[in-house]
Structure 1
């Protein structure tokens, strides 16, 4: 499941992978307009036989509505986007310091819902395009502090597999990419195993 699928870039990649692997992808988006963008993005993969369903719903309720259903859940959480300022410099004028606590609360709810929706043994990927600790590491630590059914996985070997040669400093288990080091947005990824 892609829990926060709009506007559809990652869902498109996941749809292609689901076609290759014979998997089913559920792409969830809270906004009907953005869900239509997701639908347009995955259309070609669906025409080629991919099993993709795009649904409109609040990701914060998926775990309650579909507990323990999914093998893998991606939470590319709504965030301040501070890590993408090099591509979207105008975003700095749309953000205020008060946005961070509001978004961090939403991020915690989405991550908890994703964990609830994941079957034992499954994996949740939590990602943001923000380097702000209150949207990254602190969200994950706070969620795990209140749960005994999930734990960190080391994301560094996954990066080595999908992007050979990209060096990531730090002890892990999460990844923080930086524009000046990796030529990307300042992206964060944590992987969590559901017990």
Structure 2
């Protein structure tokens, strides 16, 4: 396990530095809009949580022999639907909370703007989490690694940087 995880974690650490660089590039936008500043850690954390849930469920299915990477697999569809539904629910609530806190801190963005940014970026990220989780579990198993060990660090780190990129792409379109 150590031989597998050390190189993987080293590569993922470099990926995290890239994510920090992206955040730094948008520093001024975040500082002028407190609601958006609030969305960043929540977006990243929630994506990691959704990815962990999805990977755990898929790994369990793999160990039980019920995992098959196919769209007609009812287990994959139900887990994907649950993660997507959870993501939409959480990102809706996060958008409202970020708007309220941002308003209290002197922000000027409307509820519709913040909610749109949170919900659209969160939904896109939830779909990405589902796809990356499916690929990570499948790839890990095919390469002979235990998906319980490898998939959650991979998915959470990949979703961190992707979450930041998706969030700022949506911000650029909405604002």
Q: Would you say same fold, with TM above 0.5?
A: no
Higher relative contact order (CA 8 A, sep 6+): 2
Higher normalized strand content (fraction of residues): 1
Asked which structure has the greater CA Rg, the reply is 2
